[in-house]
Amino acid sequence: MHTEKEEVLSNIGSYEKRCDGFDWGVSKEILSWKDGELLNIGAICSDRVCARGWGDKPALVWEGFGDKKRTYTFDDLKLHSNGFAKLLVDIGIEPGDRVCVFMDRIPSLYFSFLGILKMGGVAQPLFCAFGDESLEVRLASAGTRAILTTQKHVKKVRKIKDRLPALEHVIVVEGDRSKLKDGEGFFHVESADRVEEFDVFPADPETPSVLHYTSGTTGQPKGAQHVHDSIWGQALTTSWVLDLRDDDVYWCTADPGWVTGTSYGIIGPWSLGVTQCVLDSGFTSARWYQFIQDHRVTVWYSAPTAIRSLMRDGEELAGKYDLKSLRHLASVGEPLNAEAVVWSERAYGLPFHDTFWQTETGSIMIANYPGMEIRPGSMGRPFPGIEAGLLDLKTHEELTEPGKVGLIAFRPGWPSMFRAYRGEPEKYRGRFVGARADATPDELRTDTGLWYVSGDRSSIDQDGYYWFVGRDDDVINTGGHLVGPFEIESALVEHEAIAEAAAIGKPDEVNMEVVKVFVTLNAGYEPSGDLELAIMNFIRKRLSPLAMPQEIEYVEKLPKTRSGKILRRYLRALEWGEDVGDLSTLEDD
Ligand code: 6R9
């Protein structure tokens, strides 16, 4: 069905040749970027594309709830990001200040994200599904100075603003200006004065750019700090893994609150001047297919949970739409099961290509490449220039034997790698094996004798393909989103009925995992259906719908280690029907 298209060589061409003598400089060549030129991701994704003569080309093809549709060119992207950049300068935001973007996937999210970068600010995108507590923890950690939001979501900001002394500016970018409270600003970029030219902040490669919060096993979420140098990793992987070309119409289904939605839903594709589609409305298979058909989407980057939902609705539904425009499909976020790859070949005539990476890595690290054999169920091979390996689970020695299970690790030094966990140098250092106790962050990111350890388990086959086994920690992956058990447990014990709590992931057909919690109740409280609903809603509102437990189990007491840590892994093993084994091996204190 797609034979003519397959004859076109992929951007990557020969994987082996690309690996041979690899240099990240090739990314600069792809963007025709010369040393000494202005470095700024915001400008590279807008002004620079216009300067190549593509000002009239569609940059953003957008659809919202109902029948809302808009198309913006790269000229519009330049103009509207300038508008936001100027606004921020006018209100006194300085380079390096954190500016949070807290909105649905409306066009202003994309304009403001680039605008923040253009003026040298640090863009901190957060899911607007977050409740006030999730929001507060992340704004407090970042010392965020301004938040850009909409009338729909500003209520959550109001609840917490008094506890956030650094948060000086709350600006509403969409909605009804008359509903604002004292001290809140309103800015609608499309009705504001046009800002044709803006003096873009000249970033250094190490200038902070984007701050993404990600959940770990212990403690509150950590802020992974990225820098402008990341562009080289993002642009090149977009070209070689997602195979984007000048005439592509690309759809990344991820929200920019998640790193996939910024690295590959903003930065990579727009740096290459590619047209992107955004659908800001809930998921239904029919709506997604209609969207692909209407916009003639050619390259589609999505996640296994969505793919499994599409599978559930069947090939017949897919067959009712004209999806022949599609030429390349890729997936990230969770294990992509072999059935999904085989199914997509049947349903769309094209397989999904699995890719593996993390918030911390900033760009794709392991992938199945276009035009090359896919081993269904495997994540593929390391990106050229990325030195990857597996480390023994206990000793952290490198494993060389095919088939052995170890921790996925990467030698530091790739451009998109995170440069810090904001305010937590010890945690940052803790991600590197072999690091001296006094190593500086700069040493850590450049010392190719170290390993950055991903926290995921995998094996490698004799041909160098990686096969995902599971996470090495207690983080819950629900529908591709990482949820920290500690965050859920901390929120649960704030509920008046709950004494102690443990959160784990339980198996789910579509989302891979959903949150299940075990709780002990305070004296005077009895388990009941009403209490269960109240607890679920409590978490949904405070944290997010994703963190909301799908099941609550009341227990007399929780299993603990000798030092009193809750044994989540024991609960998890029981839940998954895995061998609990010798309890002492589960204890990690
Ligand atoms: C981009 C992103 C990272 C974690 C990662 C792993 C899981 C990502 C995967 C995958 C199996 C894949 N993960 N891709 N697991 N197969 N292809 O997802 O970033 O939100 O930080 O999550 O997601 O556990 O460590 P992030």
Establish whether residue 301 lines the binding site of ligand 1, counting it when its CB lies within 6 angstroms of any ligand atom: no
Helix axes 304-312, 285-295, angle to 10 degrees: 100
- pLDDT of amino acid 4: 44
Higher-confidence position of 85 and 573: 85
Distance 356 CA to ligand 1 centre (A): 6
Spatial distance between the Cα atoms of 99 and 124, rounded to a whole number of angstroms: 6
pLDDT band, residue 583 (cuts 50/70/90):
low
Cα-Cα-Cα-Cα dihedral of 130, 127, 425, 117, to 10°? -140
* 467 and 484 belong to one structural domain: no
At residue 406, what is the residue type?
A: G
Spatial distance between the Cα atoms of 128 and 174, rounded to a whole number of angstroms: 14
Atom of ligand 1 nearest to the CA of 454: 25
Establish whether residue 259 lines the binding site of ligand 1, counting it when its CB lies within 6 angstroms of any ligand atom: yes
Task: Answer yes or no: are the C-beta atoms of 340 and 211 closer than 8 Å.
Answer: no
Mean pLDDT of 240-259: 97
Establish whether residue 359 lines the binding site of ligand 1, counting it when its CB lies within 6 angstroms of any ligand atom: yes
Is a pLDDT exceeding 70 seen at residue 61? Answer: yes
The set of residues, in sequence order, having a beta carbon less than 8 Å from that of 565 and lying 6+ positions away, is: 588, 589
pLDDT band, residue 215 (cuts 50/70/90):
confident
Distance 357 CA to ligand 1 centre (A): 6
Q: CA triplet 231, 388, 328: central angle to 5 degrees?
A: 55
Instruction: Assess if residue 94 is contained within a domain.
Output: yes
- pLDDT of amino acid 201: 98
3-state secondary structure of 368: coil
Distance 207 CA to ligand 1 centre (A): 26
Instruction: Assess if residue 380 is contained within a domain.
Output: no
User: pTM here?
Assistant: 0.93
DSSP-assigned beta bridge partners for residue 331: 302, 354
* 403 and 482 belong to one structural domain: no
- pLDDT of amino acid 580: 72
Instruction: Assess if residue 216 is contained within a domain.
Output: yes
Establish whether residue 40 lines the binding site of ligand 1, counting it when its CB lies within 6 angstroms of any ligand atom: no
- pLDDT of amino acid 588: 45
DSSP-assigned beta bridge partners for residue 122: 98
CATH number at residue 181: 3.40.50.12780
Please count the other Cβ atoms lying within 10 Å of the Cβ belonging to residue 524. 7
Is a pLDDT exceeding 90 seen at residue 7? Answer: no
* 459 and 494 belong to one structural domain: no
Q: What is the average pLDDT score of the chain? A: 94
DSSP-assigned beta bridge partners for residue 278: 62
* 138 and 49 belong to one structural domain: yes
- pLDDT of amino acid 587: 45
Cα-Cα-Cα-Cα dihedral of 44, 50, 51, 54, to 10°? 120
pLDDT-above-70 percentage for the chain? 97
Structure-token pair, residue 506: 């339980």
Task: Answer yes or no: are the C-beta atoms of 213 and 544 closer than 8 Å.
Answer: no
pLDDT band, residue 66 (cuts 50/70/90):
confident
The last residue of one of the domains, among 421, 450, 471, is 471
CATH number at residue 402: 2.30.38.10
Distance 458 CA to ligand 1 centre (A): 12
* 418 and 456 belong to one structural domain: yes
Mean pLDDT of 121-150: 97
* 400 and 361 belong to one structural domain: no
Mean pLDDT of 236-250: 98
Establish whether residue 262 lines the binding site of ligand 1, counting it when its CB lies within 6 angstroms of any ligand atom: no
Question: 326: part of which helix (H) or strand (E)?
Answer: none
Closest by Cα among 106, 109, 105, 107 to 123: 109
* 415 and 326 belong to one structural domain: no
The pairing of beta strand 481-483 with beta strand 476-478: antiparallel
Task: Answer yes or no: are the C-beta atoms of 33 and 45 closer than 8 Å.
Answer: no
pLDDT band, residue 375 (cuts 50/70/90):
very high
Structure-token pair, residue 67: 């029948």
Is a pLDDT exceeding 90 seen at residue 565? Answer: no
Task: Answer yes or no: are the C-beta atoms of 386 and 380 closer than 8 Å.
Answer: no
Q: Which residue matches tokens 């047209």?
A: 275
Closest by Cα among 388, 407, 512, 399 to 456: 407
pLDDT band, residue 218 (cuts 50/70/90):
confident
Instruction: Assess if residue 382 is contained within a domain.
Output: no
Instruction: Assess if residue 588 is contained within a domain.
Output: no
Report the first-to-last Cα separation within the chain, whole angstroms. 56
Q: Which of 2-11, 239-248, 291-300, 414-423 is least confident? A: 2-11
The number of helix segments (H) and strand segments (E) in the chain equals 22, 28
* 235 and 258 belong to one structural domain: yes
The last residue of one of the domains, among 471, 496, 515, is 471
Spatial distance between the Cα atoms of 265 and 364, rounded to a whole number of angstroms: 13
Mean pLDDT of 565-580: 86
pLDDT-above-90 percentage for the chain? 90
Task: Answer yes or no: are the C-beta atoms of 310 and 343 closer than 8 Å.
Answer: no
Instruction: Assess if residue 124 is contained within a domain.
Output: yes
- pLDDT of amino acid 585: 44
Sheet-wide strand order for 169-172 = 184-186, 169-172, 146-149, 98-102, 122-125, 208-214, 222-227, 420-421
Establish whether residue 83 lines the binding site of ligand 1, counting it when its CB lies within 6 angstroms of any ligand atom: no
Q: Give the count of alpha carbons within 13 A of 287, CB side only.
A: 15
* 348 and 399 belong to one structural domain: no
Structural domain that includes position 529: 478-576
* 185 and 270 belong to one structural domain: yes
- pLDDT of amino acid 3: 44
pLDDT band, residue 2 (cuts 50/70/90):
very low
pLDDT tens digits for range 501-558? 999 999 999 999 999 999 999 999 999 999 999 999 999 999 999 999 999 999 999 9
- pLDDT of amino acid 579: 78
3-state secondary structure of 375: coil
Establish whether residue 214 lines the binding site of ligand 1, counting it when its CB lies within 6 angstroms of any ligand atom: yes
Is a pLDDT exceeding 80 seen at residue 1? Answer: no
* 293 and 319 belong to one structural domain: yes
Closest by Cα among 129, 501, 503 to 282: 129
Establish whether residue 305 lines the binding site of ligand 1, counting it when its CB lies within 6 angstroms of any ligand atom: no
pLDDT band, residue 581 (cuts 50/70/90):
low
pLDDT tens digits for range 282-332? 899 999 999 999 999 999 999 999 999 999 999 999 999 999 999 999 999
Establish whether residue 540 lines the binding site of ligand 1, counting it when its CB lies within 6 angstroms of any ligand atom: no
Q: Work out how many domains the chain is built from and give that number.
A: 3
pLDDT tens digits for range 81-110? 999 999 999 999 999 999 999 999 999 999
Establish whether residue 152 lines the binding site of ligand 1, counting it when its CB lies within 6 angstroms of any ligand atom: no
Q: Pocket of ligand 1, candidates 334, 407, 473: which has the most ligand atoms within 8 Å of its Cβ, to mutate?
A: 334
Distance 238 CA to ligand 1 centre (A): 17
* 463 and 495 belong to one structural domain: no
Structure-token pair, residue 523: 């004296």
DSSP-assigned beta bridge partners for residue 299: 250, 328
DSSP-assigned beta bridge partners for residue 504: 516
